Amino acid sequence: MNEKQVHKFVNRYLEATECSILEKSPSHFTVKLSPLADRELTNRPYYWSFVDRVNAEPETMTFLFVTDKNKYDAAEETKKAEAAAVQQNTAEDAQNAAANAALGRSLGFVHGNLAAPARVPREDLFFGARKLDMLFDAAKSKGSFVYLFQEPDKRSSNPFSSTPYTAWLGVNMRVEFACDRKREEIHCFGVSLATGQCVEQFYDRLLTHKLSPRLPANIHITKNGITFNKALGIVEQALERKLRTYDYSWAESASARLKEELERISGYYEPLIHNALEDNKPAIEEQFEQRKSEIKWQYEPRVTASAINCGIFHLEGID
């Protein structure tokens, strides 16, 4: 991820968790965390257990998130140089202010602004940074399931009209082809909960719509014709049919390499076991079995499928 991609992701996370953005630029955010984000990012379990126990009003932390270190530091240096120039040009005013401040101290007056400002901790967010990894983990755990509605392109002039919406189950599946080499594919399926229709590349269809977590006005949801479990079964069947059409010559090659490796280590260990003393044989045999197990894990071809995330999407029309 480059700096722009990190900045965009952080902005989306802060908005989704309803954090208060105090200041922002293309290279940073100064933000007061929401209670949800504070729980996920600050690692303060004792504080939050106290808040939950006494039902106190939480005081969340404020952070400076820097998404482009070079650009932010350059901007800060420019600000400091400009401030120094202004200070140099107004030396006389500064002397007068100092005199007034001294007079104020002699009269026992202390201005409220003399209190030291609270330090705002800074976190540089770049790909691989610990805090950014925490944001990724939080987004992954909270974003594994969504419930969204298509926003209508235009509102009906008739306030009594109602547009039908169909609920779709969208599932992103990861398929892994593994042996001593590995390859992954992502497949996105959508199943209409009204009719059971299954479509591939469902994500591309979602990109053509604007989605919202709020129910739009003047719509109604059609009745589901199948259950979630039935829809998941349809996805599994569609993926299985697709995988049956693939070329699995790579698996045959991997099995041949597995056989070759097993024969190689057998040629090494079997003479050792045959010629070993009785006391040493169990240890050598155990090592031989462990080595065979490692080679099988490395070379044995396998195909695994798992769900990455899913959601219920209410789309216009009856499909």
Cα separation, 232 vs 168, whole angstroms: 11
pLDDT (tens digit per residue) in 53-65: 999 899 999 999 9
Residue indicated by tokens 């005199």: 99
Q: Are 233 and 275 in contact (CB under 8 A)?
A: no
The candidate with the shortest Cα–Cα distance to 234, out of 273, 270, 202, is 202
pLDDT (tens digit per residue) in 218-263: 888 989 999 999 999 999 999 999 999 999 999 999 999 999 999 9
- Structure token digits, residue 121: 């901790």
Strand, coil or helix: what is 198? strand
pLDDT of residue 112 exceeding 50:
no
* pTM (whole model) above 0.85: no
Domain boundaries, the chain: 3-139, 144-248+304-316, 249-300
What percent of the chain stands above pLDDT 90? 64
